[in-house]
Amino acid sequence: MSDFTVYAEDAEKVRRLMVAYQSSVKADYIVLCHRDGSIIAEVGAIGFDATPLAVLSIASFDSAKQIGMMLGGENFQSVSYGGENRSIYISPVSDSLLLVQIFPGTKLPNRIEDFNRLLVEKLVDAVPAFTQNTSKLI
């Protein structure tokens, strides 16, 4: 269970930021999830329940962190995969929140890291509680 509360006014701010971002980067779907698998906010559609996607994305990101530690403390900032029809970009918002972004096509948008960083900054400014919780991604 998430260790903070998202109030209605904060949820609306998050939704507006994510909708604007989704439009600018042409994402099919974006989900903000807690490390426990809870979905905090989502925009767009993927045609199935996103909870398993959130849980598996967290596991994937946690695995990448472990690989980084095995490689001498490398701190991976994101994880991405490209498939035949869709690509995915997974990045942290805080120690306990991840953004999972699904894009059409086999490649991620140019400068996705920069765009993502701006969204993360705006989300944290809009809802300071996102960075004031206690559970952490490994």
What is the structure's pLDDT at 119? 95
Mean pLDDT by 10 residues, the chain (138 residues): 66 92 96 92 93 94 91 87 94 91 95 95 84 51
Determine the pLDDT at residue 74.
79
Q: Alpha-carbon distance 32 to 98, whole Å?
A: 6
Structure tokens at 63: 């695995």
Instruction: Specify the pLDDT at position 108.
Output: 95
**Domains of the chain by start residue, with CATH:** 8-131 (3.30.450.30)
CB 81 within 8 A of CB 105: no
Q: What is the per-residue pLDDT for 135?
A: 47
Question: 55 to each of 51, 80, 96, 114, how far by Cα in Å?
Answer: 6, 15, 13, 25
In order of 10, 25, 36, 49, the CA distances from 112 in angstroms are: 25, 8, 25, 25
